[in-house]
Amino acid sequence: MTLTWLGHSCFLVESQSYRIILDPYESGSVPGYLPISAEADQVLCSHEHRDHHGVAQITLRHGASSPFTVETISTWHDDQQGALRGPNTIHILNDGMCRIAHLGDLGCELTARQKEQLKGLTALMIPVGGFYTIDAVQAKALVDELKPRAVIPMHYRGKGFGYDVIGPLDDFTKLFDQVKEYSGSQLEAASDIPDQVAVLKPMNV
């Protein structure tokens, strides 16, 4: 399974030539990011805010058979049961070889049952910037509980991209020992991938 970080919280996930795009942002909705231009067989969005629901940016293909099963977990975009920013959906994708999860704009504590659903992951895509989502310290605590093999931080402020009010990547990575910086935007996920925080380069900057 190949994971490509397009930027912000948007990922392209590919397995057996089937392509799923998660949380595409609308053009101009996130500072520093170029518009998304991509083809996919399926689009999944965690919620309907502009920076996660740019479905019109994606050209849909038709006819391919999906190797994925998709599970969802209903959560909140804030710590007040959605009163501030509404609901958020976690997506869990399984192609029979790898099991990955995209947390969307998670802004609340997960229940014990929800955490159990997120155990045994090959890779976890997690927001770390705070303000709109959980912050770096909260994300680290959740990673420690879930113990995924690979952790991919997203929804943070980088050099020349991201919202000014969210935190930088270093706030998260400084909390870990096993940090691997990739020269590109792709991660090859496999069941035997070494434990790591995988820092990818956003494709669309």
| Residue 8 one-letter amino acid | H
| Residue 185 one-letter amino acid | S
CATH of the domain at 71: 3.60.15.10
Q: pLDDT (tens digit, 0 to 9) for every residue of the chain, 205 residues total?
A: 999 999 999 999 999 999 999 999 999 999 999 999 999 999 999 999 999 999 999 999 988 899 999 999 999 999 999 999 999 999 999 999 999 999 999 999 999 999 999 999 999 999 999 999 999 999 999 999 999 999 999 999 999 999 999 999 999 999 999 999 999 999 999 999 999 999 999 999 9
CA-based nearest residue to 125, from 100, 142, 95: 100
Residue 205 lies in a domain: no
Pairing of the two strands 196-199 and 150-154: parallel
Which single residue is written with the structure tokens 């919280």?
A: 9
Contact at 8 Å (CB) between 75 and 98?
no
CA-based nearest residue to 21, from 49, 61, 77: 61
pTM confidence score = 0.97
Domain membership of residue 61 as a residue range: 2-199
Percent of the chain as helix, strand, coil, to the nearest 5: 10, 35, 55
Residue 204 lies in a domain: no
Pairwise CA distance, residues 27 & 20, whole Å: 19
| Domain count across the chain | 1
